[in-house]
Structure 1
Amino acid sequence: MDFTPTEEQAAARDLAARIFGDLSTPERLAAAGTGSDAETWKALCAAGLVAAVADTGLLGLVLLLEEQGRTTAQVPFAASCVYGLLAVSAHGSPEQRERLLPGIGDGTAVVCGAVFEPGGVRADAAGRLSGVVPVVPWLRDATHVLVADDRRRLWLVRTADARCAPVELTAPWAAGRLTLEGTPGEPVGGTDAYDDVLATARTAFAGLQAGVCAGSLARAVEHTNTREQFGRPLAAKQGVQLRAADAYMDTEAIRVTAYEAAWRRDEGLAYATHALTAAWWASEAGQRVVHAGQHLHGGTGADLEHPVHRHFLWGRQLDAYLGCGSEVLQELGELIASGEEET
């Protein structure tokens, strides 16, 4: 295994870091409220970073999402790349790829996903969908939504054909409630598409969590090095050092497991168990890290307007989105016991 970024991946990561760093400042994020940052999204698409994921692969996307997580930039980057660009590239028909990928790449089409909990949507023989998905992140920004039905088949639905009502989450992810009432959908891929898209999503959002945790820890390190108590920086205290060290090791575990799962997908290797491992670390360790980041700020961390609180909200939202640690661990154990995936 070699997780060293290629020149193209490193260049895309560095460009993303500059865009997120320049535009996703605490002041602009506060002004955006719970909505998305249209200027940052436009800049990312204009720089070709969404379209570049088709060439840099899932590992390249994970590197970009780390940079988004460091700043908690409010853009549908992960969703549109996972449920749109990568899903259509891997499982769409030639006609679908030709029709959909250019718009997804330049940002004029935004795709979100309702795939984590299949069962609430049914499809009839004519491909018309009915059912309700209570929460779909980034639905309010989307032109299309990738939906999994009760038989784990994937359908692409235009949001203009469905009913979408705003829903507020812990993190400002422009979410909505999706209601389908005989809504037309077009099938995407065959029977294996669902498992691949789900594993891709778990890996990508684990990468996003690695960035959220890294950003939270960086703020905690800066605070404890500059804040003094009894004439000494807080960072000089052994208890602070140990708490920060634990958070650093957790963050690295999230990062390396996400890298491994992404690398295996890009290499055409089985990676379902590795995606679940990354999701478990992102869920279980991620909430520990963002709690530590807020705790290390002391009373300042309790300020809802402090930037570290955004990392706390994002970390907890990602924990919920990926599934609590015990649920993910149970699924991982069942998959290993079944022997369905060769590792």
Structure 2
Amino acid sequence: MDFRPTEEQAAAAGLAARIFGDLATHDRLAAAGTGSDAELWKALTTAGLTAAVEDVGLLGLVLLLEEQGRTTAQVPYAATCVYGILPVAGHGSPEQRARLLPVLGTGEAVATGAFPARGRITASPDGRLTGTAPVVPWLREATHVLVPDADRALWFVRTDAPGVRTEPVETTAPWSAGRLSLTGAPAERLGAGDAHDQVLAAARTAFAGLQAGVCAGSLARAVEYTSTREQFGRPLSTNQAVMLRAADAHMDTEAIRVTAYEAAWRIDEGLPAREHALTAAWWASEAGKRVVHTGQHLHGGMGADLDHPVHRHFLWGRQLDAYLGCGSELLAELGALISAEEPDTPDTPEAPDPADLADAPDAPHVSGTPEGDDA
């Protein structure tokens, strides 16, 4: 494994860090409310950071999403990349790639995904979808939705198509989420075979990378606060309990990061990665909520202020925990996957009974213990 970014990936991550750092300020985030920041989204697409995902791969996208997570930037970047650009580039027909990738890259089109669908949507033989997806992130901003049907086939649906209805849904984090209702909605098929599993693994990995950034940002704010805030004449950061909480949060953040890197690297290399994506998702879900709780807790009374910047990290961390799935669900899926792939262990032949050997024709002499022979 080699997690070192390429020159192109490092350059893209550096540019993303500057754009997010300059534009995803606390005042702008507060002004955006539950919607996206149109100016920030334009800056990202104009800089080519959306279209570049096709070239920098999933590991490059994870690096970019870390930078978004550090600032909790209010743009549909992760959704457009993992449910739009990467699936179309990897599974679309030549015509679909030529038609969809340019508009997704420029931000003219915004994609999201109705994952996990849990079999709620069915497709007719002529490609019309019926069913509902209760919560779809960034649906209010989206022009296209990637929808898996009950047979795990993937379909692209336009939000302005007949038979498509969207309703706003408020979630923990301000992600412009909505409820998607389909009634015989026309759709186009995207990919075949194991495309569903590949898209799901990539999405889990990407959102785990986003969580790594959210946690890193939360921890950085906590470190800054406890280093300057004094109690009894010394900084809070000198208290052993504070140091231990921060150290645990740092280790959790690194675990999220490294498992996301490993899953992304394997997917980019074309290696089996379903278990690794589930592992990254589990760390992002379980450890992520621990880190954002720690970040808020270490701010003391300030952490209870809903307008404090650290509270956004808390909301995003909890939302990502819910979106990726609770830890027990992910572990159950991972366990089922591992057990299904393990080959059957051949039965070990049972050792023969010495008495049976002694009674057998032409059987060799079977002695007792040395002590018995001496007796």
TM-score of Structure 1 vs Structure 2, range by shorter chain? over 0.9
Give matches, 1:78-117, under 5 Å.
Answer: 78-117=78-117
Q: 1: distance between equivalents of 2:117 and 2:100?
A: 25
- Tell me what 1:185 maps to: 187
Q: 1: distance between equivalents of 2:115 and 2:301?
A: 39
TM-superposed deviation, 1:117: 2.7
* Aligned with 1:273 (options 266, 272, 275): 275
Check the 8 A contact 2:115/2:136 in 1, yes or no.
no
Check the 8 A contact 1:283/1:322 in 2, yes or no.
yes
Structure 1: 5+ residue stretches without partners: none
Greater mean alpha carbon deviation, residues 235-244 or residues 116-125:
116-125
Q: Deviation digits for residues 281-310 of structure 1, max 9, x if unmatched? A: 000000000000000000000000000000
- Tell me what 1:296 maps to: 298
Check the 8 A contact 2:117/2:149 in 1, yes or no.
no
SS at match of 1:151: coil
* Aligned with 1:208 (options 207, 210, 218): 210
Give matches, 1:180-329, under 5 Å.
Answer: 180-329=182-331
TM-superposed deviation, 1:34: 1.1
SS at match of 1:181: strand
Q: 1: distance between equivalents of 2:233 and 2:265?
A: 47
Residue type matched to 2:132 in 1?
Answer: V
Q: 2: distance between equivalents of 1:42 and 1:217?
A: 29
Alignment partner of 1:330 is 2:332: yes
Check the 8 A contact 1:118/1:152 in 2, yes or no.
no
SS at match of 1:160: coil
Q: Deviation digits for residues 42-76 of structure 1, max 9, x if unmatched? A: 00000000110100000000000000000000100
Residue type matched to 1:242 in 2?
Answer: L
- Tell me what 1:147 maps to: 147
Alignment partner of 1:8 is 2:8: yes
Q: 1: distance between equivalents of 2:98 and 2:40?
A: 26
Q: 2: distance between equivalents of 1:34 and 1:53?
A: 25
Structure number with bigger Rg: 2
Relative to the length of structure 2, the TM-score reads 0.90
- Tell me what 1:57 maps to: 57
Check the 8 A contact 1:78/1:205 in 2, yes or no.
yes
- Tell me what 2:121 maps to: 121
Q: What percentage of aligned pairs have identical amino acids?
A: 75
Q: CA RMSD in A?
A: 0.9
Check the 8 A contact 1:168/1:174 in 2, yes or no.
yes
TM-superposed deviation, 1:115: 2.4
Residue type matched to 2:36 in 1?
Answer: S
Q: State the aligned residue count.
A: 341
- Tell me what 2:365 maps to: none
TM-superposed deviation, 1:340: 7.5
Residue type matched to 2:242 in 1?
Answer: V
Q: 2: distance between equivalents of 1:118 and 1:200?
A: 18
Q: 2: distance between equivalents of 1:33 and 1:295?
A: 24
SS at match of 1:134: strand
Check the 8 A contact 2:65/2:206 in 1, yes or no.
yes
- 4+ runs of 1 displaced by more than 4 Å? none
TM-superposed deviation, 1:22: 0.2
Check the 8 A contact 1:82/1:197 in 2, yes or no.
yes
Higher helix share: 1
- Tell me what 2:356 maps to: none
